[in-house]
């Protein structure tokens, strides 16, 4: 129960602003979240790739409840991929997708369609896509969407939650 309370609190804008403003946590956050704009992402990607590293990029957002919100998240990813490609930073970059931000909780087909468009753009730009695994309630849906995406985009990855009892049994489902 405490875990649920902490997770719920972590998703509130007030807590997010507080954590981002405290000097210690701000420095920790900055290591993993270089900024909030496309220019911030491009700058961080350029710095990291210049040092021989690869980048994984995640649009940190909230779960969507309306198709228009999911489309806006999709469009943000598409614009980011375009900007990465224009800056010659897409090749080798990985985009982490949170399916609940693409509509998974209200319509799995909407999430799949949005993810498919992102996968297509990523492949054309030379980037890859990894699906984030959220909580246990979306595991089956995420793995179903992964299977459908891999029909056309076989390099699509997924992050499994190690602490779920079912994860070992899920491994054969994701092995390509």
Domains for the chain: give ranges and CATH numbers.
Answer: 1-32 (no CATH), 34-174 (3.20.20.220)
Which residues share a beta bridge with 106? none
Mean pLDDT across the chain: 84
Q: Given this model, what pLDDT does residue 4 score?
A: 47
Q: How far is 127 from 133, CA to CA, in rounded Å?
A: 20
Which residues share a beta bridge with 157? 130
List the alpha helices (DSSP H) in 51-107.
67-86
pLDDT tens-digit profile of 76-113? 999 999 999 999 999 989 999 999 999 999 999 999 99
CA nearest to 3, candidates 170, 167, 161:
161
CA nearest to 89, candidates 37, 33, 41:
41
pLDDT tens-digit profile of 48-69? 889 898 998 988 777 889 999 9
Question: What percent of the chain shows pLDDT beyond 90?
Answer: 49
């Amino acid at each position: 129960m405490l875990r649920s309370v902490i997770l719920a609190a972590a998703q509130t804008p007030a807590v997010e602003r507080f954590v981002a403003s405290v000097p210690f946590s701000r420095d920790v956050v900055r290591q993993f979240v270089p900024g909030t704009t496309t220019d911030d992402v491009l700058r961080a990607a350029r710095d990291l790739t210049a040092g021989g590293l690869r980048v994984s990029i995640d649009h940190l957002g909230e779960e969507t409840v309306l198709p228009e919100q999911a489309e806006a998240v999709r469009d943000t990813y598409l614009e980011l991929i375009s900007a990465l490609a224009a800056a010659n930073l897409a090749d080798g970059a990985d985009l982490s997708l949170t399916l609940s931000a693409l509509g998974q909780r209200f319509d799995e087909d909407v999430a799949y369609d949005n993810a498919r468009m992102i996968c297509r753009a990523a492949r054309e730009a030379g980037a890859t896509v990894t699906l984030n695994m959220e909580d246990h309630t979306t595991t089956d849906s995420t793995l179903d969407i992964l299977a459908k995406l891999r029909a056309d985009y076989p390099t699509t990855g997924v992050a499994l939650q190690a602490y779920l009892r079912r994860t070992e049994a899920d491994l054969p489902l994701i092995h390509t």
